[in-house]
Amino acid sequence: MIRLEGVHKYYGNLHVLKGIDLTVASGEKLVIIGPSGSGKSTLIRSMNLLERPSEGKIIVDGIDITAPKAPITNVRQSVAMVFQQFNLYPHKTVLENVTLAPILVKKVPRKEAEESGMAFLERVGLKDKAFAYPSQLSGGQQQRVAIARALNMRPKIILFDEPTSALDPEMIQEVLDVMVSLANEGITMVVVTHEMGFARKVADRVIFVDGGEIIEEGPPEHFFKNPNHERTKMFLSRIMH
Ligand SMILES: Nc1ncnc2c1ncn2[C@@H]1O[C@H](COP(=O)(O)OP(=O)(O)O)[C@@H](O)[C@H]1O
Ligand SMILES: [Mg+2]
């Protein structure tokens, strides 16, 4: 579903991604872990061209999205993203947030977008908040709206960049529960997270990124039982408690 070949990213002189080769299979759940500043966001954001690689190729569902004339709008439709900071439109209702992109970008008729939008809001447990504004919701509820918004684009892939890092501890589980239920439905998911319980439960594979490189990868059990690299061990010992 996704293939990165020799991906490098520079911000000026800063070499942030240093030759990433990575394949994500259709339906796979990939978890990315690594210290702050290691390039995780840059890596995941490059998968829908929110960041453009300086070098290398990214193929999504058979399309080279890094090609000069790649259909970026189509790519953004099939690869949805959920951010740490929710990024909802504050002056639009929950339902408007969930239907805006399908109506504007995908040209879905309003009625249809609203019907599916309500169904996805119900899935994330927020049907009764459809006409509320984001500021009237808790962080956990806002993040669940953001997930419903992503789903209403009917994406092939959903990218999550630390979706629970901005949440109060008591709200983390409600968002993880929604993510677990999505994972069970077969959508391709790439998730940057330090929630190791989530990784253990749903990840097919975990990659550890440090200094812009993939240091180690394997199934979650590998990471928890016997990581190979000293850097991985140190990182895990810091985040597990
Ligand atoms: N737009 C940008 N301009 C300049 N430097 C950036 C930009 N985005 C990220 N960086 C730098 O790139 C490095 C990797 O950042 P990031 O991908 O956000 O790491 P992570 O998500 O693992 O914390 C950091 O040193 C960060 O400061
Ligand atoms: Mg980040």
Q: What is the pLDDT of residues 86-114, one digit of tens each?
A: 999 999 999 999 999 999 999 999 999 99
Residue with CA at minimum distance from ligand 1 atom 7: 11
User: CB of 165 closer than 6 A to ligand 1?
Assistant: no
Kindly tell me if the per-residue pLDDT of 218 is higher than 70.
yes
Confidence at residue 72, expressed as pLDDT on a 0 to 100 scale? 81
| Cα-to-centroid distance, 35 and ligand 1 (Å) | 12
pTM across the whole model: 0.96
Between CA 199 and CA 192 the distance in angstroms is: 10
Mean pLDDT of the chain: 95
What average pLDDT does the segment 55-63 reach?
A: 94
What average pLDDT does the segment 9-17 reach?
A: 97
User: CB of 38 closer than 6 A to ligand 1?
Assistant: yes
Residue with CA at minimum distance from ligand 1 atom 16: 39
Confidence at residue 211, expressed as pLDDT on a 0 to 100 scale? 97
User: CB of 212 closer than 6 A to ligand 1?
Assistant: no
Q: What is the pLDDT of residues 135-152, one digit of tens each?
A: 999 999 999 999 999 999
Confidence at residue 241, expressed as pLDDT on a 0 to 100 scale? 63
* Domain regions of the chain by residue span: 2-238
- Considering the domain delimited by 2-238, tell me its CATH architecture: 3-Layer(aba) Sandwich (3.40)
| Cα-to-centroid distance, 127 and ligand 2 (Å) | 30
Residue with CA at minimum distance from ligand 1 atom 2: 11
Q: What is the pLDDT of residues 165-183, one digit of tens each?
A: 999 999 999 999 999 999 9
Confidence at residue 156, expressed as pLDDT on a 0 to 100 scale? 93
Task: Kindly identify the ligand whose nearest atom is closest to the C-alpha of 34.
Answer: 1
| Cα-to-centroid distance, 221 and ligand 2 (Å) | 24
Kindly tell me if the per-residue pLDDT of 13 is higher than 80.
yes
| Cα-to-centroid distance, 111 and ligand 2 (Å) | 36
Task: Look at the block and give the residue holding tokens 């989530």.
Answer: 198
Q: Which of 7, 13, 14 to mutate to test the pocket of ligand 1 (most atoms within 8 A of CB)?
A: 14
